[in-house]
Amino acid sequence: MDIPAASFRSRAVTVCSALALAGLAAAITVSARAADASVQFVRTAGDGFVLAGKPFFVAGVNNHYLTFGTEQEVRRVLDDAVQLHANVIRVFLQPVIGSLDGRVPSVWNWQSPASSSDLGVNGTYLLYWDRKSSQMAINEGASGMHKVDFLVDECRKRNIKLIIALLDFWAYTGGAQQMRAWYKSVDRNRFFFEDPRTRSDYRRWAHYVVNRANSLNGRHYKDDPTIMAWELMNEANIEPASLKTGWVSEMSSYLKSEDSNHLVASGGAGVNDRLADMRIPTVDFGTWHGYPLFYGLTVQQFNKLIDQSCNIAANLQKPVLLEEFGYARSNSDQADAYQQWLDKLQSNKDCAGWLVWRLVSYQQDGKYPLDEHDQFDIRNDGSPIWSIIKEAAEHGVIGRGHEVPRQSDDTGRPQ
């Protein structure tokens, strides 16, 4: 049947209009989803953090074994963090070992039968030296990156944010010291940050991590708002200072080129150099680690150091986190010290938050780990220290109108 030309043109216009409207609707939907996703990521605003348009004060904890503890141990720590009202947990990506056959030795006892808190890693390793290919290799399996997938997903279920250091500088579980040892270097402070092979290894690792798709939920790490921030390395003790500035500048810029969603910090201890990394444009916030007795400071002097650090934040208009601090329980004034410091961090409007070192929970044997050396462990035991930190977290999180962390059962359904 012949169709009149005018009728055909009319139908064509109608079809094209419908397709255009459908395309516009789809574009609006995608744009709305992108906007919804963007507000879920923690951002900076002046010397503070914001989440979903509201100030986000960090009241958090560190834990050193969440990337290699058993699933039960991980859940216990996260559930205790919820009880504490902590909204952020900081971890390092570890362990790093030599070759699996031992011919390229590990610089630490990675097969120790000790508890998780005492660095018995239960056969876990994230990075190792592959003798066949003579290069760094990544363990993507159940004894490797699946452990990190589990941690990220469990934090998501509990509405807890993560600060993730891509490596540890220290050799306790391998870290950068193991990676320089792959190349037979004994230089602790310079080689890793200067040699083209380790620099390439680090870039490859950073690229892999941010682009990894979580095996449990399918979401790429760089698209997951559960992660608050990346840190280049925990306490990178780089010498000389010019090398440190160059390395932090280069790697923070590289990380941002790979992941535009997340904040980036150096992860430095930040006391001796007075938060120098904050002056680097691609570093979003400053970090410092406070152990008064290590620096020969009294409790009151440390309190003043908190003000000084937050003043730097105000001057540079970037947030500063006291992201590690501890004071041994053998000190009779421990409770008073924590109360003073947390009150100061809460009351100074230029302080962006804190993360205590360190929260631990029951190990596989049903007992708390022994902590007779540093004596910094924080436990859900109803002690004065637990109560002081919990109250400070409540003021920082609930008192500022943030959505609180929540308990989750093993299936991930909020209880």
For residue 103, the cross-strand partners are none
Instruction: Write out the two tokens for 166.
Output: 């891509």
Asked if residue 400 has pLDDT above 70, the reply is: no
pLDDT at 30 over 60: no
Does 59 have pLDDT greater than 90? Answer: yes
**Would you kindly state where each structural domain of the chain is located, as residue ranges?**
58-400
Amino acid letter, residue 391? E
Q: What Rg, from alpha-carbon coordinates, does the chain have?
A: 24
Structural contact between residues 66 and 119, judged by C-beta atoms closer than 8 angstroms? no
| Count of CB atoms situated within 10 Å of the CB of 166 | 20
- pLDDT of 156 > 50? The answer is yes
Alpha-helical runs (H) found in 259-333: 299-316
- The pLDDT tens digits of the residues spanning 304-334 come to 999 999 999 999 999 999 999 999 999 999 9
Check whether 229 has a pLDDT greater than 70: yes
Report pLDDT for 198. 98
Query: Do 73 and 116 contact (CB within 8 A), yes or no?
Result: yes
pTM above 0.85, yes or no: yes
What pLDDT is stored for residue 143 in this prediction?
Answer: 98
Q: Which CATH architecture has domain 58-400?
A: Alpha-Beta Barrel (3.20)
> How far apart (Å, rounded) are the C-alpha atoms in residues 169 and 233?
6
92 bridge partner residues? 165
What does the block give as tokens for 314?
A: 């105000």
Sheet of strand 43-45: strand arrangement:
43-45, 48-51, 54-55
Query: Per residue in 260-277, pLDDT tens?
Result: 999 999 999 988 888 999
Q: Are 176 and 167 in contact (CB under 8 A)?
A: yes
The model's pLDDT over 92-150, given as tens digits with 9 standing for 90+, comes to: 999 999 999 999 999 999 999 999 999 999 999 999 999 999 999 999 999 999 999 99
